A and B are shown apart, each in its own frame.
Chain A
Amino acid sequence: MNIAVCLKQVPGTTKVEIDPQTNTLVRQGIENIVNPFDTYALEEGVRLRERYGGKVTAISMGPPQAEAILRDALATGADEAVLLSDAAFAGADTWATAYTLSRAVDKLGPCDIVICGRQTIDGDTGQVGPELAEILGFTFVSYVSQVEEIDGEHMRLKRLMGERYEILEALLPAVITVVKEINTPRLPSLRGMAKAKSATIPVWGAEELEVDGNKIGLTGSATRVIKVFFPQRTQRAEILEGELPGQVDYLIDRLREANLI
């Protein structure tokens, strides 16, 4: 079973706050982390290898510093890792990202399953997985919460589609995106950390991937971000005053007046 897991490096947003005075993002001590959802994708890849044998390759497209998340991936169970990095990849929209990732999957050789996170915490589109599946011509199943069984050419999956849990049979090869409840990611092992430390992680650029230059980076992106701004949060709560019972009465009156209750 050849398994590829896609991981993206993102700014750790837990520490991001808006400075109310200047209305800017405060990034004190910001550090880049692996997209939280992608740790579940990696863990599932490693568990599938433990169940069915094979190899797990971690792939990330990003700047050279994204190598850090690939080392962590090696420490937590990935067999191999490859970084897709090239100035020409910068500014890629989801389609151009998916195209670039698809070239790497192709280059790695026969692949049975590609696992992605459900969405990232920065771009937050959730589009890379389904677009990647379409470009590769693979089966696609989103929001997978359990891989029940893989048997020959098929796998049986449980997924959470809105309010409903579905059991699906899917033909391999497939791209799946996973949700949090699928597993609990393991911590790095000592052996893994030693391996991660000494591993050389190949870096593939536009040339190695033999990409079409018109399909990568900003050039290959149909969408353009033309403006970025901070949402206005000017509304301030009317803090109710006086004795608690009076506050509760006042609140109910306001809500009734507005026909909300």
Chain B
Amino acid sequence: MGLLIDLDKCIGCGQCIEFCPFGALEMVGGKVEVREGCTLCGACLDSCAYEALIIEELEATPAADESYRGVWVFAETKDGEFSRVAYELLSEGRKLADARQSELGAVCLGHDIGAVDSLIAGGADRVCVVDSPALADFPEDLCARKLAEVILEYKPEIVLAGATALGRSFIPRVAAILGTGLTADCTGLEIDPETGLLMQTRPTFGGNLMATIICPGKRPQMSTVRPRVFKPDAPDQTRKGGVIRLDFNSEGVTSRTKLLSFVEDLAETVKLEDADVIVAGGRGLEKPENFAMLEELAGALGAAVGSSRPPVDEGWVPYPRQVGQTGKTVCPKLYIACGISGAVQHLAGMQTADVIVAINDDPAAPIFEVATYGIIGDLFKVVPMLIDRLKNG
């Protein structure tokens, strides 16, 4: 098993070497050789015009359990309400369920979960609710075990969850209990018309490389899905659906973690992920005081303020404002980047915004490659002018 080079076919053009993101191919004596470090990702396969690269197939993967049917969405709640991403997933899940001619379900866990009609209006055919005082603080271990148990009982073929902070740390545990595969942070989902498998596409390498991933042999097929990539459907109040209330037997089980207290960060401002408009500042802002100017612009636009990494590293703004590979992923309708060069790690967090405005005095800044509108100029002139025009008509 591994990546093989057909030496009869390889002409030593070296094309594949450039395609390998891991630097695992090299030229030795006019032919390509595979070095240590190959992850079998397959990026090189299509680059070869001579079909000289082959990934040795596994002995046939065992067929998946056919008794699994339907698509499920894990409906995350925050402060007693369903997160926006739950409705986004219902909208996308509806399409997948229709393509598979199957049901769309939603599942939620917690305590004092209110009406779930909104999930049905959002597209669900049925909703499973696990409501228990023992789950009030969402103890992740108990919730993971319960969710896995419910999945084993109802056997959905596909399970989707938001790639939120919670989803990305909680759902992997559910997948591990079930012993199935999980694709992280997907931005594209599609049913392969031939095999019926879920094709899950996700960015890796900080958005530099896209990968399409399948889970052929295990069920359910699970993905976490990046928030704000899919649009929720308009709620249809006439939709009908069933609600199943499931028991949680808390006797003799205690969580291995206990929530002692919490403080909400940035409670007073708009949450970045939820904002329709974001004004973001980078190193070009020069000092912390200058963020006040961005706050003012944001105020005039009803926007939230984000930043690139340097202002966070310098301590000008707190970490929850950071947008990018190691910060937040945002997808607002409008993103205004001020004094941000547009490094790939920053782009990874914001390039799916509908409209991007870049304000930068360097015409060669890569931010202009993703922007919709660009103003080449001094932000200390442009931003005050914007504020003035917005405030004074």
* Residues of A near any B CB (own CB < 8 A): 11, 13, 16-18, 22, 24-27, 30, 32, 37, 62-65, 87-88, 90-91, 93-95, 98, 119, 121-127, 129-131, 133-135, 139-143, 156, 160-171, 174, 177, 179-181, 217-219, 221-231, 233, 235-240, 244-245, 247-249, 251-252, 254-255, 258, 260-261
In contact, B206 and A11 (Cβ under 8 angstroms): no
Contacts of B355 in A (CB 8 A): 255, 258, 260
Task: Judge whether B243 is part of the interface by a CB distance below 8 angstroms.
Answer: no
Please measure, in the bound complex, the distance between the C-alpha atom of A130 and the C-alpha atom of B176, giving whole angstroms. 8
Q: How far is the CA of A217 from the CA of B170 in the complex (A)?
A: 24
* B13 at interface, CB cutoff 8 A: no
When the two chains form their complex, are residues B40 and A227 in contact, meaning their CB atoms are under 8 A apart? no
In the assembled complex, the Cα of A228 lies from the Cα of B141 at a distance in Å of: 34
> Can you give 21 A-B contacts (C-beta < 8 A)?
A91-B39, A98-B176, A119-B326, A121-B325, A125-B182, A130-B172, A139-B256, A139-B257, A140-B169, A140-B173, A160-B265, A160-B320, A167-B262, A168-B257, A218-B1, A227-B42, A237-B358, A237-B371, A247-B382, A255-B355, A261-B390
Chain B 345-384 near chain A by CB (<8 Å), digits 1 or 0: 1000001001111100001000011111111110001100
CA distance A98 to B21 in the complex (A): 23
Asked if residues B213 and A225 are in contact (CB atoms below 8 Å), the reply is: yes
Query: Are A162 and B208 touching (Cβ within 8 A)?
Result: no
Task: Give B1-19 as 1s and 0s: 1 = Cβ < 8 Å from A's Cβ atoms.
Answer: 1100000000000000011
The answer to whether B373 touches A236 (Cβ under 8 A) is no
Q: Is the Cβ of B385 less than 8 Å from the Cβ of A245?
A: yes
Q: Are A166 and B208 in contact (CB-based, < 8 A)?
A: no
In-complex Cβ contact of A131 among B172, B386, B389 (8 A):
B172
Query: Are B42 and A225 touching (Cβ within 8 A)?
Result: yes
CB pair B277–A261 under 8 Å, yes or no, is yes
Contact of B264 among A93, A164, A168 (CB under 8 A): A164
Instruction: Decide: B265 and A236 in contact? CB cutoff 8 A.
Output: no
Whole-angstrom CA separation of A240 from B375 in the bound complex: 6
Contact A248–B389 (Cβ < 8 Å): yes
* Bound CA–CA A121/B207 (angstroms): 10
**Which chain A positions have C-beta within 8 A of B354?**
260
- The CA of A25 and the CA of B17, in the complex, are separated in Å by 10
Chain B residues with a Cβ under 8 A of chain A = 1-2, 18-19, 21-23, 36-43, 46-47, 58, 140-141, 144, 164-166, 168-170, 172-173, 175-177, 179-185, 199, 203-218, 256-267, 271, 277, 301, 319-320, 325-326, 333-334, 344-345, 351, 354-358, 363, 368-377, 381-382, 385-386, 389-390
> A240-B374, A251-B373 are known contacts. Are A260 and B141 too (CB-CB below 8 A)?
no
Q: Given the known inter-chain contacts A130-B176, A169-B257, A225-B212, please indicate yes or no for A161 contacting B166, CB distance below 8 A.
A: yes
Across the A-B interface, the 7 shortest Cβ-Cβ residue pairs:
A222-B181, A63-B36, A142-B169, A237-B374, A91-B40, A125-B184, A223-B181
Given the contacts A16-B208, A240-B375, A224 and B215 also touching, CB distance less than 8 Å = yes
B206 touches A162 (CB 8 A): no
A to B contact number (C-beta, < 8 Å): 293
Chain A residues within 8 Å of B386, by CB: 248, 251-252
Nearest opposing residue in chain B for A127, CB measure: B172
Q: Which of B18, B263, B264 contacts A25 (CB 8 A)?
A: B18
Q: B344 near A163 (CB under 8 angstroms)?
A: no
Judging by beta carbons under 8 Å apart, are B372 and A217 in contact?
Answer: no
A147 shortest CB reach to chain B, Å: 14
Query: For the complex, what is the distance from the CA of A88 to the CA of B261, rounded to whole Å?
Result: 45
The answer on a CB contact under 8 Å between A227 and B344 is: no
Given known pairs A218-B40, A240-B374, the reply for A16 and B205 (CB within 8 Å) is yes
By CB atoms of chain B within 10 A, which of A135, A142, A167, A248 has the most?
A: A248
Question: In the complex, A261→B182 CA distance in Å?
Answer: 38
Q: Is the CB of B382 within 8 A of A244?
A: yes
Q: Chain B's nearest CB lies how many Å from the CB of A152? A: 15
B18 near A90: Cβ-Cβ < 8 Å: no
Please tell me if the beta carbons of A134 and B215 are within 8 angstroms of each other in the complex. no
A251 contacts B184, C-beta separation under 8 Å: no
**Residues of A with C-beta under 8 A to B23:** 11, 27, 30, 32
Chain B nearest Cβ from A237, distance in angstroms: 4
Most buried by B among A16, A142, A165, A228: A228
A165 & B262 in contact (Cβ 8 Å cutoff): yes
Residues of chain A contacted by B344 (CB below 8 angstroms): 13, 16-17
Q: Which of B205, B371, B376, B389 gathers the greatest number of chain A CB atoms within 10 Å?
A: B205
When the two chains form their complex, are residues A124 and B206 in contact, meaning their CB atoms are under 8 A apart?
Answer: yes
Which residue on chain B has the smallest CB distance to residue A93? B181
Neighbour of A140 across the interface among B39, B141, B182, B258, CB < 8 A: B141
Contact A124 B184 (CB under 8 A): yes
Residues of B within 8 A of A11 (CB): 21-23, 205
Q: A142-B168, A237-B373 are in contact. List 11 more A-B contacts (CB 8 A).
A: A24-B18, A90-B39, A119-B326, A168-B258, A170-B256, A180-B326, A225-B213, A228-B41, A228-B212, A239-B376, A260-B355
Least CB distance from A150 to B in Å reads: 14
Q: Is the CB of B263 within 8 A of A165?
A: yes
Residues of A within 8 A of B173 (CB): 130-131, 133-134, 140
- For B264, the chain A residues whose CB sits under 8 A away are 163-164
Residues in B with CB closer than 8 Å to A244 are 375, 377, 381-382, 385
Q: Nearest chain A CB to B294's CB is how many angstroms away?
A: 15
Residues on A with C-beta less than 8 A from B390 are: 252, 261
B363: nearest residue on chain A (CB-CB)?
A: A239
Out of A231, A236, A255, name the residue touching B334 (CB < 8 Å): A255
A205 to chain B, nearest CB (A): 14
B210 touches A223 (CB 8 A): no
Given the complex of chains A and B, what is the CA–CA distance between A126 and B168 in angstroms? 7
- Residue of A122, A126, A238 near B205 (CB, 8 A) is A122
